[in-house]
Amino acid sequence: MSIWVLCSSLVFATIAIFTVHIASQWERDVILRFGAYNRMAGPGLYLTIPFIEHVALKADLRTMLTGFSAEEILTSDLVPVNVDAAIFWMIWDAEKACMEVENYYDAVSMAAQTALRDAIGRNSLSDVTVHRDKLDQELREKIEEKTNSWGVSIMSVEIRDIVIPKDLQDTMAAAAKAEREKDARIVLAEVEKDVAAMLHDATDIYKEDELAFKLRQMHLVNQSLRESGGSLVVPSAYAEGFVEKAPGKAAPEHK
């Protein structure tokens, strides 16, 4: 093999390396010519002019998942929390992702952390823990305001975990227990008030109708017998009110 054949092969291989490119199905390659944007290439096989054109960015158009967190964030009611979250996003414009931001992956992660700290600081602990869906939507909108100009679309944001300091958890649990006991006592007091009002109305009725009062007595006696399942000695006074006394005759004795 002559030296010329070897050199020619080396030159041809070098040109092929800088000329022939392959982009995967999920990739879009940004081509610059003399440093200026020229075109988008891919997927599949494409060619570039050596030393004149080069691939500035291989953009992955698949859905990306980025985890991010924020530690010791103070809520609006000054409670420190640690929050872990995840963001699902994808590139919809590879040209903007190349031209508008230096590193779109790191930029999305940083924008998400900044938005998370801002959102937690404007919400109370109860809003953060109870209304997660609302907070997720707020984070998505805030992050997309920044990333939309980079050609990045935010699909969803999900808060995975919210950690409260242990000593604060015990204090909050005690406060919640005291609040539940307070509510129970309020409900019991309202029930007692209603019962007292009903008894007062019943007293007015029984004052005006003695027979109704005696019927009520007999009903209570009957209910006691049925609940106890045994026998009960009924005083004669309960029955005397229902028996007409004959003139000149004594009331019959009940045994």
pTM of the predicted model as reported, rounded to 2 decimal places: 0.63
pLDDT in tens, 38-61: 999 989 999 998 889 989 999 999
Q: Which of 82, 141, 134, 131 is nearest to 111 (CA)?
A: 141
Q: How far apart are CA 155 and CA 103, in angstroms?
A: 19
Q: How far apart are CA 252 and CA 160, in angstroms?
A: 83
Q: Which residues of the chain have pLDDT under 50?
A: 242, 244-255
Please check whether residue 76 is in contact with residue 148, taking contact to mean a CB–CB distance below 8 angstroms.
no
The pLDDT of residue 129 = 80
pLDDT in tens, 120-144: 888 888 788 888 888 899 999 999 9
Cα dihedral value 204, 208, 212, 214, nearest 10: 90
The pLDDT of residue 50 = 85
200-222: string of b/e by CB count within 10 Å (b at 16+)? Answer: eeeeeebeeeeeeebeeeeeeee
Report, in angstroms and rounded to the nearest whole number, the Rg of the chain calculated over CA atoms: 42
The pLDDT of residue 147 = 93
For the chain, which domains are there? 3-60 (no CATH), 64-164 (3.30.479.30), 209-245 (no CATH)
